[in-house]
Structure 1
Amino acid sequence: MANPQMPQVIAVGMSQVGYREGYVEGGWNNNVRYADEVPGLSVYQGQSWCMTFTSWIAMRAGVPTLFPRGVDCSAGVAWFQAASRWSWYPAVGAQVFYGDSGSEHTGIVYAYDATYIWTIEGNTSDNGSTEGDGVYLRKRRRADAIVYGYGLPAYAEGITTADTALKGVSGYTYAASNLGPSRAVLAKAGMLVGNLVAENLSVNGTANADRLHLAGGVVAMDNVTAAPTSSPMGGAVWYSQGGIPKVRTGSGTVIDLSSTGGGTSTATNEFGPADHGLVAWTMNPASCTPSGTTLSAGVIYFLEVILRSSATISSLCAVIGTAGSGLTSGQCLAGLYTASGTRVGVTADMSTTWNSAGDKTMALTSSYSAAAGKYYVALLFAGTTSPTFACGSTLGNAFTPGNAHLTSGSYRFCRSASGQTSLPASYTMTSATPDANNVWAAVA
């Protein structure tokens, strides 16, 4: 199977975070490696270089024809519009344009949700300036006036976008939010593109990304005893040290990939969902308390899980320590909701299933093809005595550390008002109340 192109683009961009332009006599001078390394752009050395940077990323990632090449952001907007690859909605791997008619600045989107986009941008700064000193990761509100629109590259594997008009259109996958490729996918992509720079480089064939050495220098190393002290040709080196995946960026910054999010497992001695045959879970089940927790009748409990990459969800999982009794038929249910509160899956009646203890795999009535992003497993109980579910903590509704630093609409563990008899087709997540019953649940 061909290697996906989008992660290669993002991996190349990520490898440059921390890079700074030239500094002479007390000032930054816009002199960068990218102008000299992209054919035809060296004459623009010393000028604003955000578009030069995206051109370089596309070339280095082996997809030079999927992005406009040049220094003029307005021309980049026109290029995507002429190709009918323009949208007012973000996509992972899209080129975002800023300012008046998209003429002032540009970057690459690596994640988005209903409120924000996360980007890799050159010629910016910590404050998000459109004329800065280096390559930075930025988080911007989608509704900010500076955000103009998005060019959607025609990746061979397609592109995931928040544009509802592209639902069902070949080459596009709709997702209200997408947290981007996992660190494992980015690590492989980074090793595949390595330190090769070529005008027509193609990296879509098969390759073994476990131990990969490419011409011009080592770009991936296994089980090193010390971090690399330099990067071939100024690029990134991907390596593992003590079982932990890491990357040394072109600027020399070492990033521990086990703590940056994404993927299903971190170091080799730490269990993740995949080690249990699961796609994602609310927490490691080994951290659950001995007592577990019961549910209040008629209340929907929403339990957040994060999919770092797309997956087909066919069942939901929970563990019951003590069986329920007097369960109401038709009102004991489990379901799957998007982060915005749309129900995308539901089980059949669970009143019989929850009337016994054990590991419960609850089949959805139909499988759901889930894009990467945040989802909620929902549990609803009605009856005389609730089953006891495995959980991480039960500290009372006034003390909810499982929701630390989270705000309304984004709680990990929350609940509806009482009086519910079914799982609704949609739920307003901002109306959910934070809850300290950190119930263990998973998707498979």
Structure 2
Amino acid sequence: MTARAFYGGASGSQPSQPSDRGYLAWTQPPYAVTAGSVIPTAGVLNLRRVRRVPAGSVSSIVAFVAVAGVTLTAGQCFAALFTASGTRVAQTADQASAWASTGLKVMPLAGGPYPIAAGDYYVGVWFNGATGPSLIRSGSVSSVVTNAGLTAPSLEAATADTGLTTTAPASFAAQTPGVFEFWFALA
């Protein structure tokens, strides 16, 4: 088996690209995810870098809930989009109801679509409630591996800000290395 065939492309073809599936960009190809992990701590912003996003218009963040959240607090479960420098672009409406079931979740950005410049961005998620939803991710569960060769503020996966409830910070705080390479797409 060739590397190209393994990564989703037929022999002689290119691997699947975000635009092949109607997305602007994604954190990693969907065939590179292996498991789900619970968003670990209530009220903490969990960040995942989306690299090389082309200029365009973004209206939604997409995620896949593998295991539903438990007793999520209405009005306190959100996703948000940030620039690479940490400035909030937009956030979704509350996701407590959506994250209480499994499946692909298309989460519209409130007031969108938003024009964005080419570059890197971060998707941030947080929940409040008994147990957060389990989102699909790649196989790494080590912040050393996930962020190998990187330092804040340019980590692949990180946490920042605590005590979040209804609103994403205007700019997220200093990053702490995270372990979960959650899968997100921008649409």
The answer to whether the Cα contact below 8 Å between 2:25 and 2:54 also exists between their aligned partners in 1 is: no
In structure 2, the partner of 1:434 is 177
The answer to whether the Cα contact below 8 Å between 1:316 and 1:363 also exists between their aligned partners in 2 is: yes
1:299 to 44, 54, 57: 44
**1:21-420 pair list within 5 angstroms:** 268-290=13-35, 292-295=36-39, 296-366=41-111, 367-396=113-142, 399-420=143-164
Q: Number of aligned pairs?
A: 174
Q: Secondary structure at the match of 2:16?
A: coil
Which deviations, in whole Å up to 9, do the C-alpha atoms of 1:156-196 show, x marking residues without a partner?
A: xxxxxxxxxxxxxxxxxxxxxxxxxxxxxxxxxxxxxxxxx
- Percent identity at matched positions? 39
Backbone CA RMSD of aligned residues: 1.6
Cα displacement (A) at 1:330 = 1.5
Cα displacement (A) at 1:436 = 1.1
- For residue 364 of structure 1, what is the amino acid of its counterpart? L
The structure with the largest strand share of the pair is 2
The structure with the largest helix share of the pair is 1
Cα displacement (A) at 1:275 = 1.5
Cα displacement (A) at 1:417 = 4.2
CA distance in 1, matches of 2:153, 2:46: 14
Cα displacement (A) at 1:307 = 3.6
Higher relative contact order (CA 8 A, sep 6+): 2
Would you identify which runs of 4 or more consecutive aligned residues in structure 1 move more than 4 Å?
A: none
The answer to whether the Cα contact below 8 Å between 2:161 and 2:172 also exists between their aligned partners in 1 is: no
Unaligned runs of 5+ in 1: 1-243, 245-266
Q: TM-score, normalised by structure 1?
A: 0.38
Q: Secondary structure at the match of 2:181?
A: strand
Cα displacement (A) at 1:386 = 1.1
The answer to whether the Cα contact below 8 Å between 1:413 and 1:437 also exists between their aligned partners in 2 is: yes
Q: TM-score, normalised by structure 2?
A: 0.87
Cα displacement (A) at 1:285 = 1.3
Which deviations, in whole Å up to 9, do the C-alpha atoms of 1:42-98 show, x marking residues without a partner?
A: xxxxxxxxxxxxxxxxxxxxxxxxxxxxxxxxxxxxxxxxxxxxxxxxxxxxxxxxx
Unaligned runs of 5+ in 2: 5-11
Distance 1:299-1:357 versus aligned 2 partners, 3 A rule: same
CA distance in 2, matches of 1:380, 1:273: 24
Larger radius of gyration: 1
Which deviations, in whole Å up to 9, do the C-alpha atoms of 1:111-145 show, x marking residues without a partner?
A: xxxxxxxxxxxxxxxxxxxxxxxxxxxxxxxxxxx
Cα displacement (A) at 1:393 = 2.7
The answer to whether the Cα contact below 8 Å between 1:279 and 1:307 also exists between their aligned partners in 2 is: no
